[in-house]
Structure 1
Amino acid sequence: MNGTRPDPTSVIVVGSGPTGLLLAGDLATAGVPVTVVERRPHKISNLSRAFGVHARTLEQLDARGLADPLLATGDTITGLRLFRRLSLDLGTLPSRFPFLLITPQYEVERLLERWAREAGVEFAHESEVVGLRQDDDGVDLEVRGADGTVTTRRAAYVVGADGHQSAVRQAIGLPFPGVSVIKSLFLADVRLAQKPEGVLTVNGAGDSFAMIASFGDGWYRVMGWNRRHEVADDAPLDLDEVKDVTRRALGTDYGMHDARWLSRFHSDERQAPRYRVGRVFLAGDAAHIHSPAGGQGMNTGLQDAANLGWKLAAAVQGRAPESLLDTYEAERHPVGKAVLRSSGGLVRLARAQSPVPRTARALVTAFVNLAGPARRRILAQISGIGYRYPAPRGSHRLAGTRVPDAALAGGGRLYEALRGGRFVLITPEPYEGRAAREGRLTVERWASDRRTTVLVRPDGYVAWADDTAGPAAIEAALAAHVG
């Protein structure tokens, strides 16, 4: 994939975080040559901020055979508490994963990297993007290696999954408008003399907020802020400050000691106006960043990758028109915007001090606690299972919706059938067509007496459905969606 060997069917993914790794693994699994370009040396860092894996992300990982191995790395919680009085019961989620998995981001990265390497992904570490040009046939990416030498890599498409300071986004001239939501947070990795009661401990009191999550190996991650002490990211931070804020928020510091890492950062809300410019795409933090409220950042990026991967594979392999790639932005940009709105709203309500917003917070809490539909909507949004994608006018009511895991005839289930990375057709009666014979489609039957025929996309959303479909209707739908 160097400039001397252009490959018109290859993809370069810039960034080896969770989003880039999932995308690269999906492409390689589909048979697309893919290289991950990463500025940093090869190392799985324990300094990442994300700690929660939501239900929809676990479903996506299940479709790749990765959910169960990841579950073994952490602990699950079924309850979330917001504003001290608002309780959300994740155990009611209509999912195989009715909980939040608490596991550090580096466990997600370690699992995804191993899977991506086994699928054939090539990695170029210590390789910094310094330029980008594109034409009608491909993209030239200028990359500076560890020795300072600049080389050119060419591919059919490039995806920037290189974080909030994305070099790819800057190279294609896209702005990153937004605001700072929290001007000064701290992170610390510590040991505790007393073990907290739960896997995740979160609370706010007065001007202080703190969260403690377990690494599972005796180390704990602490995140917090003090609204009365908002300082620059490079301001000194010591363990005494972390302990003080934690005591104010949680009532105790659990005997914190032996900090191995202390850092400050600020939390922004930003979103690129577009996720695609020609043959270049943005995903994850390169496209959107949110406040940490709700733990949706990494999860949203992974779901970006799940949406884009199968579409890129179909386009570079000539199985779908170029226009399919436009649906990535059409489907994922509104989701990113919704996450910005919801996570930002949670932070603003949590930080409310004056009478009007505090009254609003109390009213929201009371309403959600009493109203089942409102509580279910919030749960569906935070967990990611409630989003649906636009569908053409006149489509079946299921088109664009997430498909829950379903039992299939023969004892299998849907998310196991999705592990081939192909569309899955679920029918009430046996069916065999050309796409199935050619290996481009997996055909399954309902284990129940359900009569609806459903065509499920590789990312687990309904492409097409019909309550009374015959062979002709099925063939037409497959021609339109599978090729």
Structure 2
Amino acid sequence: MSPPDFDVLVIGGGPVGLTAAGDLARLGRTVAVLERWPQVNPSSRAFAVMARTLEVLDGRGLADGLLELGTTTPGVDIFGRSRLDLSKLPSRYPFALITPQTNVDAALGRYAVDQGADVRRGIEVVGLRAEADGVTVNARPKNDENPSHEQVLRARYVIAADGAHSTVRRLLDLPFPGRPVLSSVVLADVKLSRGPSDGGLQLGSSATGFAFLAPYGRHDADGSWFRAMTWDRGHQVDDTVPVGEGEVERVLNREMGRDVGIVEIGWNSRFHSEERQVPSYRVGRVFLAGDAAHVHSPIGGQGLNTGVQDAANLAWKIDAVLSGAPDAVLDTYQSERHPIGRRVLFQSGAMLRAATLHPKPARLVRNSVVPRALSIPFVRDLIAGSFAGTGLRYARGRGGGRLVGTRAAGIPLVGERLTRVQRNGRWVLILRAEDEAPESVPHVIPVRRDDDGPAVLVRPDGYVAWAGTSPAGWLEAYERWTGAGTTSADVHH
């Protein structure tokens, strides 16, 4: 292969692709993003940013700005007057941020460009060939059939972040096993004069369908804006059928059990939901992330959050291998993120099936069991942490004990928080008060913790790589991941 044009080509300019591109550019890599749509999509399905994703965004200097553009909710009203309580999350962000995905896209777009990524809009991929030492991509302006306008780009690696209908997945002829699970779901932006009394998230469901409301935090004299999601069991039509006049209002009022006071309906869309996941997130030098790798029910607000965390997990590993780490580091993207994707499919699917139960006895059992389960603090915190991402962890593997694979954002530091320390994308060595600072190691930032916990080595994505009481023990883990000072190709995790 001739010399590459870029270290990494990212296909898809949504939140997943922009996170990956920004992270790689922040580490000094040459990156281009190819996005087939000429303009930023003015509408989008996602609206909830969970606690762990807010921590990831804070590590890029974006969380505070996004919080100013949305509203937060400490919980979600679900079945039988029960509530999924997020206020006890062990995070700086014990809530969900409700804001249109367009705000997240814009923030991540600025981040990618500011870090030096080359974002090219209106360019679609039409061919891809993976070779032993790189990937060749054929691209052209969207809808331009002139062969002379086709360009050939080469990169060491490709990240496919091009959505549920991924062109890269199709060009590689990859399986995407799964099935449709729900049809004729309607999303809409609605202004209500009588929304949820506490301004929080609310789910209403019955034998006839369900409705979901999420506040945007925008108010005027007439009312407040919400994102609505509705499903009517008795009105199942193709995705192309326009949303009918009165359709959203009828389902919202029926499932919420009251007149919600619709003042205005803005953007709306009808779609169907599927549950699918590619068997392998890595195909040689090509990696799939976000909806290109997994799709699932929109209930639970997991799509954007899971995809952004895919990108945060992958980008630093590509950089590490480009710097000399063993290739096996890249295999850990599959071993760490594929189980998380499978878990998200399960939990969002379980919530969907619970919301769409039809037999009355089953709904009565649901409305009895769920509130009782959520009244148990351990169960409440386990479920909340799973949906918020703060409770997810990677396998421990060799060394470091039970903390390895957990998020480190909650560790108190002297004078600073971890997500701010990691805004340059580097490793962090968290020392105890009594530990002697090690000699300077490139790309490792030493800090001190503000409690009596163990010393901890934190990966660039904010997860613990090693923990212990011997301040010298961290170096072995660092060398395994980065290849620094060793030629070993053995990565255990």
For the aligned pair, the TM-score class normalised by the smaller chain equals: over 0.9
Q: Which of the residues 421, 424, 432 maps onto 2:425? A: 421
Q: Which of the residues 449, 456, 469 maps onto 1:446? A: 449
Q: Which of the residues 240, 254, 270 maps onto 1:264? A: 270
SS at match of 1:405: coil
Does the aligned pair in 2 maintain the 1:239–1:259 contact within 8 Å? Answer: no
Does the aligned pair in 2 maintain the 1:126–1:145 contact within 8 Å? Answer: yes
Aligned match of 1:82? 78
- CA spacing shift, 1:264–1:99, aligned 2, 3 Å: same
Does the aligned pair in 2 maintain the 1:405–1:415 contact within 8 Å? Answer: no
Q: Which of the residues 227, 235, 246 maps onto 1:240? A: 246
CA-based RMSD of the aligned residues comes to 2.0
| Letter paired with 1:113 | G
| Letter paired with 1:166 | S
CA-to-partner distance for each residue in 1:264-292, whole Å, 9 max, x for gaps?
10111111111010000000000001101
CA-to-partner distance for each residue in 1:120-172, whole Å, 9 max, x for gaps?
11011111111110111100011121443221111000011000000011111
| Letter paired with 1:286 | A
Q: CA offset at residue 107 of structure 1?
A: 0.6
C-alpha distance in 1 between matches for 2:94 and 2:266: 34
SS at match of 1:209: strand
Aligned match of 2:388? 383
Aligned match of 1:159? 159
SS at match of 1:293: coil
C-alpha distance in 1 between matches for 2:3 and 2:478: 35
Aligned match of 2:487? none
Q: CA offset at residue 406 of structure 1?
A: 2.8
Aligned match of 1:39? 36
Q: Which of the residues 450, 455, 462 maps onto 2:464? A: 462
Aligned match of 1:17? 14
Aligned match of 2:117? 121
SS at match of 1:10: strand
Q: CA offset at residue 477 of structure 1?
A: 3.2
Does the aligned pair in 2 maintain the 1:86–1:368 contact within 8 Å? Answer: no
C-alpha distance in 1 between matches for 2:362 and 2:279: 30
Q: Which of the residues 402, 405, 412 maps onto 1:407? A: 412
Does the aligned pair in 1 maintain the 2:79–2:203 contact within 8 Å? Answer: no
C-alpha distance in 2 between matches for 1:248 and 1:430: 65
Q: After superposing the two structures, state which structure 1 stretch, 208-217 or 18-27, moved more.
A: 208-217
Q: Which of the residues 85, 88, 91 maps onto 1:92? A: 88
SS at match of 1:374: helix
Q: After superposing the two structures, state which structure 1 stretch, 193-202 or 284-293, moved more.
A: 193-202
Instruction: Confirm or deny that 1:29 pairs with 2:26.
Output: yes
Q: After superposing the two structures, state which structure 1 stretch, 255-264 or 156-165, moved more.
A: 255-264
C-alpha distance in 2 between matches for 1:404 and 1:287: 26
Q: Which of the residues 58, 61, 66 maps onto 2:62? A: 66
Does the aligned pair in 2 maintain the 1:425–1:454 contact within 8 Å? Answer: yes
Aligned match of 1:6? 4
| Letter paired with 1:29 | R
- CA spacing shift, 1:475–1:292, aligned 2, 3 Å: closer
Q: Which of the residues 257, 270, 285 maps onto 1:279? A: 285
| Letter paired with 1:6 | P
Q: CA offset at residue 394 of structure 1?
A: 4.8
Q: CA offset at residue 6 of structure 1?
A: 2.3
Runs of 5+ consecutive residues of structure 1 not aligned to the other structure: none
Q: CA offset at residue 18 of structure 1?
A: 0.7
SS at match of 2:188: strand
- What is the TM-score normalised by the length of structure 1? 0.93
Aligned match of 1:170? 170
Listed as ranges, the matches of 1:368-379 within 5 Å are 368-379=373-384
Q: Which of the residues 361, 366, 379 maps onto 1:361? A: 366
Q: After superposing the two structures, state which structure 1 stretch, 233-242 or 112-121, moved more.
A: 233-242
Q: CA offset at residue 72 of structure 1?
A: 0.7
Counting matched residue pairs gives: 471
CA-to-partner distance for each residue in 1:242-261, whole Å, 9 max, x for gaps?
11111111234544354343
Does the aligned pair in 1 maintain the 2:399–2:466 contact within 8 Å? Answer: no
C-alpha distance in 2 between matches for 1:138 and 1:401: 33
Runs of 5+ consecutive residues of structure 2 not aligned to the other structure: 220-224, 485-493
Aligned match of 2:481? 481
Does the aligned pair in 2 maintain the 1:433–1:475 contact within 8 Å? Answer: no
CA-to-partner distance for each residue in 1:50-88, whole Å, 9 max, x for gaps?
111111101111111211111111111112122133212
- CA spacing shift, 1:214–1:394, aligned 2, 3 Å: closer
Instruction: Confirm or deny that 1:350 pairs with 2:355.
Output: yes
C-alpha distance in 2 between matches for 1:253 and 1:286: 39
| Letter paired with 1:368 | A
Instruction: Confirm or deny that 1:325 pairs with 2:330.
Output: yes
Q: CA offset at residue 48 of structure 1?
A: 0.5
C-alpha distance in 1 between matches for 2:191 and 2:383: 34
Q: CA offset at residue 408 of structure 1?
A: 2.0
Listed as ranges, the matches of 1:192-231 within 5 Å are 192-194=192-194, 196-197=196-197, 198-217=199-218, 219-231=225-237
Does the aligned pair in 2 maintain the 1:331–1:389 contact within 8 Å? Answer: yes
CA-to-partner distance for each residue in 1:8-45, whole Å, 9 max, x for gaps?
x61011111111111110000000100000010122x3
C-alpha distance in 2 between matches for 1:19 and 1:247: 35
- CA spacing shift, 1:434–1:224, aligned 2, 3 Å: same
Does the aligned pair in 2 maintain the 1:84–1:203 contact within 8 Å? Answer: no
Q: CA offset at residue 234 of structure 1?
A: 1.0
SS at match of 1:134: strand
Q: Which of the residues 340, 344, 347 maps onto 2:345? A: 340
- CA spacing shift, 1:366–1:260, aligned 2, 3 Å: closer
| Letter paired with 2:34 | V
- What is the TM-score normalised by the length of structure 2? 0.91
C-alpha distance in 2 between matches for 1:23 and 1:448: 33
Aligned match of 1:56? 52
| Letter paired with 1:42 | Q
Q: CA offset at residue 335 of structure 1?
A: 0.3
